[in-house]
Amino acid sequence: MTVSILSARDVDFLLFDWLRTQELLERPAFASHSRETFASVLELAETLAREKYAPHHRANDLQEPRFDGTSVTLIPEVGTAVRAFADAGFLMAGLPEEDGGGGLPLSIGSACMAWFHAANTATAAYSLLSMAAGNLIRTHGTDEQRRLFAEPLAEGRFTGTMALSEPDAGSNLADLQTRAIPQDDGTYRLFGRKIWISGGDHELSENIVHLVLARTPDAAPGTRGISLFIVPKYLVAQNGSLGERNDVVLAGINHKMGSRGTVNTAPVLGDGAHTPGGAPGAVGHLVGSVGQGLPIMFSMMNEARLGVGIAGTAVGYAGYLESLAYARARLQGRRAGQSPADPQVPITEHPDVRRMLLAQKSYVEGALALMFYCSRLIDDAHSLDGEAAAEAAALTGLLTPIAKSWPAQWCLEANSLAIQVLGGAGYTRDHSVEQHYRDNRLNAIHEGTHGIQGLDLLGRKVLLDGGRALGMLVTRITATAERAQAVAGPESVVSVGQRYAADLLAMTSRLVEVSGSVGGVTASDPEGGARVMAEATAYLEAMGHLVIAWLWVEQWLVAREGDDALHAGKRAAAEYFMTRELPKVAHLLDLVAAHDGLTTGLDPDVL
């Protein structure tokens, strides 16, 4: 049975029928492209994902990375895939044309990444990390750093990591202890221990570029004392040639529940395992200025978090399609009223199986819509001017914690439903759905946990922002509701549009009301403010569901009268989400409105 991993039909629907990505071609930034180049890039991603990534999804799990005390060994298929990705130009596809890149919109790039993650998220992670590291150096590094590190990253000769966490400083980076001692030659020597570093060692590339957060001597305590350094595995000479081994080695690797193919490491810097230039200490190159490490790292975090969202979405999508294919082929039971002598029917005939499939569809297609919408916002921020660009950037900031967290929660739920559709078979390693479920559980943890996203959304993106970006979002949701309210056509369509508009507007009003009232509390009452922030996760989940409902009404508007399966399926999934999911928001907003202090007032000793 050939199983689909992602729907090219849905990708086209979202990118072109709904978001009209082809209109980007009219903007100078994307004028060198055409609808045909978009199509051929997407097709290339699909082909590569199917041929080079999907076949070793299980092998990545069964033969996880091994560390012999010196080096890390991955299965060779990972290297083949990562090289094919680079050779096909995907590392450079999104870079500006003036830097030798493809200048492709992120909208298209994100769709490509969705293919790779759907096929094999653990392998896709290596290229994602290289792109993120290269983008950071390109944006914040010197010309020399771009030449020596960003270019080889873009070519696939080097790979990248982001080394933030330490054993005693994970979610709380303020306490990180790695020290960076300035040297006479302008470099630094780094000493410390990092943990949870994906791709922290392997033989996939000539060199590995670690982007390391560390503290300079006499740096301010807390996050303002953190600087960012390039720490290569092998030193790089001015002419780009590789030199000595740097003093960064692994203390060990972590063994994960899923996403095993992405080696996860505990690097040690400067313990003297190597002595570059005759002395211990990992040689590092400062990026930007001293003390700017966290802002620089976080400037790249929006795209990294969007990457996590795409991964979670794609893994959910792959599980959905596998369970759908299974359900269509699996004969079991009969319709109500049939006799035992009648042949058994596909389990798609059973309402509860349909419920589980439709729920998955509403989650994964809703999440993919969100990912593409955010990608488009980033394209807009880059390719529009003035007010419009600023609005796109503000909305990106607001939606990013949702894009990070919503798929991690709900596409994981989709993966659980996929297992349930297969029943006992789904619980075995004979099918991919159990691995998807394990792979996807990572996405609520890395790049900022679920709870951290909630604090970011409510604290920074809504309250500190004074509700400015939220206002922009509400304007867009309201506009969608007004279009749904005003649809013409058969009464059956008109009444659905009016119902969706009313439900969407009612919940949006409630969000605005609650956001305003808690904003008043936090402004005037520190204890009340703490109680409000304690409900940040509820706020995150409420706004997440409202945003996905909005995007389902958007999709419904495009699909509302089509008589083909694609459009009928979109309508069914929209109806599922509007009737089964959107109502959950009311309760979550009630909790935020009440901010009853249950957790802030709790004595943890009674747990």
Least distance CB 335 / a copy of itself (angstroms): 9
Residue whose token pair is 């991690």: 408
Alpha-carbon distance of 521 to 539, in angstroms, equals 15
Query: Would you call 485 exposed, middle or buried from its count of C-beta atoms within 10 A (0-12, 13-18, 19+)?
Result: middle
Interface with a copy of itself in residues 305-324 (CB under 8 A): 324
Neighbours of 253 (CB within 10 A): 19
Site for a copy of itself contains 603 (CB under 8 A): yes
The only residue of 79, 101, 170, 277 in contact with a copy of itself, by rule CB under 8 A: 170
Closer residue to a copy of itself (CB): 28 or 343: 343
Closer residue to a copy of itself (CB): 29 or 325: 325
Interface with a copy of itself in residues 340-379 (CB under 8 A): 340-341, 344, 346, 348-358, 361
- Which of the residues 166, 303, 447, 581 is marked catalytic? 447
Alpha-carbon distance of 318 to 300, in angstroms, equals 27
Closer residue to a copy of itself (CB): 151 or 166: 166
> Which residues, including other chains, have CB under 8 Å from residue 328's CB and lie 6 or more apart?
346, 348
Structure tokens at 154: 């873009």
Alpha-carbon distance of 332 to 320, in angstroms, equals 19
Structure tokens at 587: 């309760």
Closer residue to a copy of itself (CB): 504 or 536: 536
Closer residue to a copy of itself (CB): 89 or 291: 291
Closer residue to a copy of itself (CB): 153 or 253: 253
The only residue of 446, 461, 545, 560 in contact with a copy of itself, by rule CB under 8 A: 446
Least distance CB 402 / a copy of itself (angstroms): 17
Alpha-carbon distance of 112 to 363, in angstroms, equals 20
What is the pattern of x (binds a copy of itself, CB under 8 A) and - over residues 545-574? --------------------xx-xx--x--
The only residue of 437, 500, 550, 556 in contact with a copy of itself, by rule CB under 8 A: 437
Interface with a copy of itself in residues 237-276 (CB under 8 A): 254-258
Closer residue to a copy of itself (CB): 117 or 441: 441
Q: Which stretch binds a copy of itself (CB under 8 A): 139-147, 154-162, 449-457, 515-523?
A: 449-457
> Which residues, including other chains, have CB under 8 Å from residue 62's CB and lie 6 or more apart?
none
Query: Would you call 239 exposed, middle or buried from its count of C-beta atoms within 10 A (0-12, 13-18, 19+)?
Result: exposed
Least distance CB 30 / a copy of itself (angstroms): 34
Burial 342-372 (b: 16+ CB within 10 A, else e): eeeeebebbeebbebbbbbbbbbbbbbbbbb
Name 285's bridge partners: 230
Interface with a copy of itself in residues 520-539 (CB under 8 A): 526, 530, 533-534, 536-537
Q: Which stretch binds a copy of itself (CB under 8 A): 30-38, 282-290, 380-388, 439-447?
A: 439-447
Least distance CB 336 / a copy of itself (angstroms): 6
Alpha-carbon distance of 192 to 266, in angstroms, equals 11
Site for a copy of itself contains 416 (CB under 8 A): yes
Structure tokens at 524: 């005037």
Site for a copy of itself contains 444 (CB under 8 A): yes
Alpha-carbon distance of 377 to 356, in angstroms, equals 32
Site for a copy of itself contains 575 (CB under 8 A): yes
Q: Known catalytic residue: 322?
A: no
Per-residue H/E/C for 53-115: HHHHHHHHHHCCCEECCCCEECCHHHHHHHHHHHHCCCCCCCCCHHHCCCCCCHHHHHHHHHH
Site for a copy of itself contains 292 (CB under 8 A): no
Q: Is 231 helix (H, G, I), strand (E, B) or coil?
A: strand
Q: Which stretch binds a copy of itself (CB under 8 A): 28-36, 152-160, 164-172, 513-521?
A: 164-172
Residue pair 110/375 in contact by the 8 Å Cβ criterion: yes
Structure tokens at 275: 């002595």
Name 267's bridge partners: 250
Closer residue to a copy of itself (CB): 1 or 336: 336
> Which residues, including other chains, have CB under 8 Å from residue 60's CB and lie 6 or more apart?
75, 77, 78, 120, 122, 123, 260, 261
The only residue of 169, 384, 494, 557 in contact with a copy of itself, by rule CB under 8 A: 169
Closer residue to a copy of itself (CB): 41 or 122: 122
The only residue of 12, 155, 206, 590 in contact with a copy of itself, by rule CB under 8 A: 590
Site for a copy of itself contains 108 (CB under 8 A): no
Q: Is 268 helix (H, G, I), strand (E, B) or coil?
A: strand
Least distance CB 207 / a copy of itself (angstroms): 26
Interface with a copy of itself in residues 212-241 (CB under 8 A): 221-222
Catalytic residues: 447
